[in-house]
Amino acid sequence: MDNQLLKKISGGNLPKEHRDLAKIMRIKSNSEKARVLIRLLIIHPLKRRIAKYYLVLLRKTFGLKVIGITGSAGKTTTKEMLLGILRLCEKTVASYENIDSVFNIPTTILKCVPGTKYLILEMGVEYPGEMDFYLWLAKPDIGIITNIFPTHTQFFKNVHGVFKEKKKLVEVLTSDDKAILNANDKFLNTLKNKLSSEIIWYGSKAEIYSSKVEVTKEGKTKFNLVYENNQIGIEIPMIGMQYVENALAAITCAKNLNIDFTKIEIGLKNFSPPKHRMQILNKSGGVKIYDDAYNNNPMAAKTTIDNFMKNNKENSKIIVFGDMLELGADEIKFHDEMGSFISEYKPDALICVGKRSEYTAKAASRKLANVYFFNDLNRIPLIIKKHLGKNTDILIKGSHSLHLEQLVPLL
């Protein structure tokens, strides 16, 4: 079955699941193969069409606004922050957590009830052409791009390929729409004066930015929000400057929807952080586990490690580092660079997990004494206990498929 026919069947641009059709055809059980194909070629395409035209009805009848969020890191956190704010004001629906956008977006649209005011859609891309499919389903009124890093370069070739795909989210916007962009990102800055929509910037030297960022002992981040010469104290239940940037994106969007600062402050203070994204777990003996095991890419890893090593500097530090996936031809280079990067901070122990992280371990061992490498999780708790003392911080950082979060209950 060729791609053109699959496009017609699916209703729109070719989603990535059809690229795996060859794998499906290799399923040995005919009944299982038939079940998967029916879901793939009939149920999902029908669901997409229903969702697409249901959204048209919601927009025309109830004035629903669609907010699309993409970026190499921070999409889910920005979505949850914005949801925390907007749900205080109007009926708001947002993408489910941890479900591929190809399936997530239609499901989320159909979750809306008549009268829903805001629909927040996380539009993560892994393959060229996926953003076209999302925009066929739901062109946003507001498009947010958090940042551009080397992610999924196995499929996008390089960071320029990542940017080319993600910027489609705001290139499709019209003069009635708004693009909200990170002023600190060099790729996004190239979009100045190149979009049909209004661009609203956040970050350094932008309309909305932060000052006096402070991490508390309770594992929260406080900062001053600077807007039109006003400064407002904001607190978020997460640690790190990257989450301040996510908060600024959510604040910028909320302000342009005319949400007052009181609700913004309350929404950010009380929003539910996504699981396994720099969650802090306090254990006995002054031991803290920093669970950041959901995803991993070069830039996000460097930011996380920098924040971790600089917080509570007097404590002992143990880093458990798992593979960074889908980096293609550059994966060895990135893992080697990460080892050199980590070694500069001199943690008390570095434990690398996964075949690619062997390069991280080798690079780090040139300067660090306590470096370990494993293909699985079995021996890691014993190594951690070997280096565990009073007031020890443990960072768990890796791609979701390695399931490093399973270490948390073992510790």
What pLDDT, on a 0 to 100 scale, did the predictor assign at position 16?
A: 53
Does one domain contain both 243 and 318? no
Whether 3 maps to a domain, the answer reads no
Does one domain contain both 265 and 283? no
167: how many CB neighbours lie within 10 A of its CB?
A: 23
Whether 98 maps to a domain, the answer reads yes
36: how many CB neighbours lie within 10 A of its CB?
A: 18
Q: Is 377 helix (H, G, I), strand (E, B) or coil?
A: coil
Do 347 and 318 contact (CB within 8 A), yes or no? yes
Among 270, 304, 327, the domain-final residue is: 270
Do 208 and 225 contact (CB within 8 A), yes or no? yes
Does one domain contain both 296 and 253? no
Q: What is the pLDDT of residues 11-24, one digit of tens each?
A: 445 455 555 555 55
Two structure tokens written together for 368 = 């660090």
Does one domain contain both 338 and 302? yes
What pLDDT, on a 0 to 100 scale, did the predictor assign at position 17?
A: 52
Does one domain contain both 225 and 328? no
What pLDDT, on a 0 to 100 scale, did the predictor assign at position 1?
A: 37
Do 183 and 205 contact (CB within 8 A), yes or no? yes
Whether 158 maps to a domain, the answer reads yes
DSSP 209-253: EEEEEEE-TTS-EEEEEEETTEEEEEEESS-SHHHHHHHHHHHHH
Q: What is the pLDDT of residues 279-325, one digit of tens each?
A: 888 888 889 999 998 888 898 899 999 989 988 889 999 999 999 98
Give the containing element (helix H, strand E) for 372.
strand 371-374
Among 243, 270, 297, the domain-final residue is: 270
What pLDDT, on a 0 to 100 scale, did the predictor assign at position 360?
A: 97
- CATH code of 313's domain: 3.90.190.20
What pLDDT, on a 0 to 100 scale, did the predictor assign at position 12?
A: 47
Strand partners, 292: 397
What pLDDT, on a 0 to 100 scale, did the predictor assign at position 99?
A: 66
Does one domain contain both 149 and 171? yes
What pLDDT, on a 0 to 100 scale, did the predictor assign at position 236?
A: 96
Give the containing element (helix H, strand E) for 298.
helix 298-310
What pLDDT, on a 0 to 100 scale, did the predictor assign at position 381?
A: 92
Domain residues for 211?
62-270
Beta strands 65-70 and 142-145 are parallel
Residues of the chain with pLDDT under 50: 1-12, 14
* Nearest CA-CA partner of 298 in 345, 356, 243: 356
Beta strands 221-227 and 230-236 are antiparallel
Does one domain contain both 288 and 224? no
Whether 6 maps to a domain, the answer reads no
Amino acid at 349: A
- CATH code of 133's domain: 3.40.1190.10
Whether 95 maps to a domain, the answer reads yes
What pLDDT, on a 0 to 100 scale, did the predictor assign at position 21?
A: 58
* Nearest CA-CA partner of 372 in 407, 347, 390, 391: 347
Whether 133 maps to a domain, the answer reads yes
Whether 249 maps to a domain, the answer reads yes
Does one domain contain both 255 and 326? no
φ and ψ of 162, to 5 deg: -60, -50
Beta strands 198-202 and 178-182 are parallel
Does one domain contain both 135 and 96? yes
What pLDDT, on a 0 to 100 scale, did the predictor assign at position 20?
A: 57
Does one domain contain both 256 and 374? no
Does one domain contain both 213 and 90? yes
Does one domain contain both 264 and 328? no
Whether 27 maps to a domain, the answer reads no
Please count the structural domains in the chain: 2
DSSP 175-187: TTSEEEEETT-HH
Among 237, 270, 303, the domain-final residue is: 270
